[in-house]
Amino acid sequence: MVENNENMLDMKQLPLGFRFDPTDEELVLHFLHSKLKLSSSSRNYPSNNCNNPHLIPELEDFFHHYHPCQLHGEAFESCGQWYFYTRKTENRVSENGYWEELVGMDQPIYAGNNCNKLVGLKKWLVFNNKGMYASSGVKNGWFMQEYHACSNNNLSKRRKSKQPAADVMNKWVLCRVQQVCDESQWMNTFNEDKSNNEVELSSSDEAVYLAMEENDEHEVTYPY
């Protein structure tokens, strides 16, 4: 298990009334893409370094070594949700249980003034304790939103100093984990995410988006 970073920002350090509640677009543009770009530029980068250092930590082998109840003190927590980066894998099984991907519930994440640029993909997963098999919905209250970055087909031909290569884009995912009381609460979260899929970009979002546009060929691939 990764040791807790003493320098990781604590929400208690923020003024009253502040909270971390990013949209899907903000998580992909400002956090995941920054993480991947930094990963491609240097092999010896600080584990929690990105545009927002010491905010979202790495739990490199989360799926193989963690039960979700162990996230407290390890991942970044805000508003009852835990955020962290981890290595992408299709094998999400540990000695405590496994994460089951919900088929047919993937959500594309778009950005741009007309929401016409595909920048990421969100997968939904539920956790099942060892020996349990979920027939549908949430069995023990833990579910995850797993964010993937989408890359251009020709990124591997570009210089790494400009944008992350396609293989690097697929090495890390950003996860948001939450525990709910019942399945109806989980479905409400899913439906709210669908209805809030199109939001107006802030000035900082536009700056990131325009930087990505400079080398964009409008040809993208899904991250799997």
Distance CA 183, CA 187 (A): 6
Quick check: is 1 in a domain? no
CATH of the domain at 160: 2.170.150.80
Tens digit of pLDDT for each residue in 73-98?
999 999 899 999 999 988 898 888 89
pLDDT of 106 over the 90 cut: yes
Tens digit of pLDDT for each residue in 40-84?
665 444 444 445 545 899 998 898 889 999 999 999 999 899 999
Quick check: is 21 in a domain? no
Give the chain's domain count.
1
Beta strands 81-87 and 76-78 are: antiparallel
167 HSE (CA, 13 A, CB side): 5
Out of 137-141, 167-171, 216-220, least confident range = 216-220
Quick check: is 213 in a domain? yes
Q: Which residue has the higher pLDDT, 171 or 160?
A: 171
Query: What would you measure as the largest C-alpha separation in the chain, in angstroms?
Result: 50
What domain range is 136 assigned to?
A: 57-217
Backbone phi, psi, residue 109, to 5°: -115, 120
